[in-house]
Amino acid sequence: MKPKNYKRGYPVAVLVGIEQDHAALWNIFSQVAKQQQTIPLGGERKDSKTLYSFHEAIINALRPILKEGIKSIIAASPPRTSYAQDFLCHIKAHHTWLLQGPNKATFSQITGSASSPSQVASLTKTDAFKQLIQDNAAEETENLLEILEKRLCKNDNLVLFSLQEAETLILNPQAPGKPQPEYLMLTDDYLAGTRQKNRVNRLMMIAAKNGVKTRVINAESNAGARLTQLGGIVCLAKQG
């Protein structure tokens, strides 16, 4: 039996469709989009306190997603509106922590409605959306490469280079004080070419469920090229 996440693929981004009176959050996977939740505005948009609370509610909904390692956030709003721009301005004014450091997220905006499955399906097929995904992925992988290189320089045995080592760390509960899995990184070429696809997909599913930041990286990117040099799959641990 194939793992449940096989058909949806791997996580790519989060799409936030902001409308006049609500926001719809979607997890964008490599093969499908899944709606996460809808956040009501709860008042009049022209009321500054209401709008502030609305934007904060969106940020709070994004927090657990960001902890999972998904760092590409795309805000969408209908033509001739500034809803997405207003949200990004809120982030710059009140949440600079999201825009700084090696774990920073990448925020971008696009014109279009993303409130219903049909709207999301249409939007994600556009060239503009596909280009945003590529641009955001490039920036995100540079951040991941920085994290990887810093860990490699430490030479503290917290970087694992094989599927078997990653499975041992992720699938077996680690005692307090022992190294804990933090990142599971692999290239799309590794995922496509492995003869143990079900095994790898199972590991990815369990890793994500257990809070390990799981990322599939374009093999042609700088980070992907470095991962390929290391065998195509790397698990980073942190000291417990």
How much is the average pLDDT of 49-67?
94
Residues with Cβ within 8 Å of residue 235, at least 6 apart in sequence = 159, 160, 165, 166, 169, 170, 181, 183, 184, 185
| Whether 84 and 191 share a structural domain | no
| Whether 33 and 102 share a structural domain | yes
**pLDDT at 4 > cutoff 50:** no
- Which residues span the domain enclosing 194? 144-238
Of 8 and 223, the one with more pLDDT: 223
How much is the average pLDDT of 36-53?
96
Each residue of 191-201: pLDDT tens digit?
999 999 999 99
Whole-number Å distance between alpha carbons of 194 and 162: 12
- 159-160/233-238 β-pairing: antiparallel
| Whether 115 and 10 share a structural domain | yes
Residue 4, token pair as written in the block: 């449940």
Please report which confidence band the pLDDT of residue 7 belongs to, taking 50, 70 and 90 as the band edges. Answer: low
Whole-number Å distance between alpha carbons of 209 and 218: 23
Please report which confidence band the pLDDT of residue 12 belongs to, taking 50, 70 and 90 as the band edges. Answer: confident
* Residue 236, number of CB atoms within 10 A of its CB: 23
Which segment of 102-106, 107-111, 112-116, 150-154 scores lowest on mean pLDDT? 102-106
| Whether 117 and 192 share a structural domain | no
DSSP structure class, residue 237: E
- Give the pLDDT confidence score for residue 131 in this predicted structure: 92
Please report which confidence band the pLDDT of residue 103 belongs to, taking 50, 70 and 90 as the band edges. Answer: low
On average, the pLDDT of the chain sits at: 90
Say if 130 falls within a structural domain: no
Please report which confidence band the pLDDT of residue 1 belongs to, taking 50, 70 and 90 as the band edges. Answer: very low
| Whether 106 and 152 share a structural domain | no
* pTM reported for the whole predicted model: 0.75
- Give the pLDDT confidence score for residue 214 in this predicted structure: 87
Q: Is 182 helix (H, G, I), strand (E, B) or coil?
A: strand
- Give the pLDDT confidence score for residue 102 in this predicted structure: 62
What CATH number is given to the structural domain containing 232?
A: 3.30.1330.30
